[in-house]
Chains A and B, each alone.
Chain A
Amino acid sequence: MSERVSIAQARIDRAPEVLKAYGLGSCLAVSLYDPEAGIGSLGHMLLPCRPEKTPLGSESKYVDTGIYQMVDELVRAGANRERLVAKITGGANMFETVYQTLINSIGARNARSARVTLAELGIPLLGEEVGGNRGRTVEFDLASGNMMVYCAREVGQISI
């Protein structure tokens, strides 16, 4: 069984479900997991920080507000806030160019925002597979808390 998480979405589920996010570029996938309760959430975020002045669109579009929202929902669904652990993947820079400033590597900023937000919340970041210039597909196994990362152009898979 697997459930798909599309852009600007976060999904909560329980073991033995598998949550999947396809084709991550500079987007970031964040997993939060309570190993004892076997409950977890996978978020697929687009932008690093929700602007304070003119917040546009859903909270789950942004890494910072998205993570807060995921934590709230997990606690409501019965997860223990103290037991939550996190993993992140994605945050690539797909179009490598000479003029980086125009992109200002949004992927790297997404990853940074996730680290900062998780530190604020005191949630340990157990692993990350971020950066580079490759697209990734992520499978988050709620039975084990493992995150499998598949890249299209490289053979093999990475488990974090």
Chain B
Amino acid sequence: MTFRELNNVQLDTLKELSNIGMGHAATALSQMIGQTVNLRVPHITITEISQVPEYLGGAEKLIVGITLQILGDARGSIMLLFPQDSAHYLLCNLLGHQEKGLIMNEVNVSALKEVGNILASAYLSALGNLLDKTMIPSIPMLAYDMAGAVVDYVLINLSQSGDLAMIVETDFSGDSDQDFAVKGHFFLLPDPATLDIFLNVTGEPHE
């Protein structure tokens, strides 16, 4: 199955799955930072791999990226991207006092990885329950660098099976009534070979 062959029902299925998974992840995040977390309706983009960095707001923008591989019955990657100020805000919230700028020392890196781990685990366990499949997140990996450089690792994995990437993207943001609203992007990049597992939930024939 390739990404191009997906019909609207299947795309909607993926959106809904992601929405449910993200709902759980947002609850987890909200509990961590004590702030309401709002979700945007997920959108799916099927794009040339070469266009992905542009899509993320420019290849040179500094971001914090946390990536996990999905292991178990379905394969793919999860990528969580935080703008610098949101990563900084998360750290202030989780660890207390921080320097003015974002500093990536061992404790901070570990804390952000843990955020990634909690969000991805909440997301995958909701998805797994729904699909009756086992999906386990790998150890989180973190990079703080240019967006293009951070995402190309995931693109490399994808590009081994084609020139297209499918991104199921959910934006989330904290309550805007507060001084600062945390923002982030959550990406699900399913491996085309195991896409069927995600789609089987509808019972739609899709050969």
Contact = CB atoms under 8 A, between A and B. Distances in A.
B35 interface: no
A25 B159 contact: no
B152 A137 contact: no
B149 interface: yes
A24 B148 contact: yes
Interface of B: 49-54, 58-60, 62, 67, 69, 138-139, 141-153, 155-156, 159-163
B69 A102 contact: yes
Given A24-B152, A46-B155, A7 B50 contact: yes
A23 B148 contact: yes
Interface in A33-65: 46-47, 56-58, 61
A69 to B, nearest CB: 16
A95 B145 CA distance: 10
A57 B159 contact: yes
Nearest to A96: B141
B139 A97 contact: yes
A79 B146 CA distance: 34
A61 B146 contact: no
13 contacts: A7-B152, A23-B146, A26-B153, A46-B159, A47-B160, A56-B161, A58-B163, A61-B159, A92-B149, A94-B145, A95-B153, A97-B139, A153-B62
Contacts of B144: 153
Nearest to B52: A7
Given A94-B143, A153-B144, A46 B152 contact: yes
Contact of B49 (A46, A97, A153): A46
A106 interface: yes
B163 A26 contact: no
Given A94-B145, A134-B145, A135-B146, A23 B159 contact: no
4 nearest A-B residue pairs (beta carbon): A23-B148, A135-B149, A23-B59, A25-B149
Interface string A56-90: 11100100000000000000000000000000000
B50 A135 contact: no
B37 to A, nearest CB: 26
Given A25-B153, A47-B160, A56-B160, A9 B50 contact: yes
Given A135-B146, A137-B146, A23 B160 contact: no
Which residue, A8, A56, A94, A102, has most C-beta atoms of chain B within 10 A? A94
A6 B152 CA distance: 11
A26 B150 contact: no
A6 B145 contact: no
A134 B144 CA distance: 9
A152 interface: yes
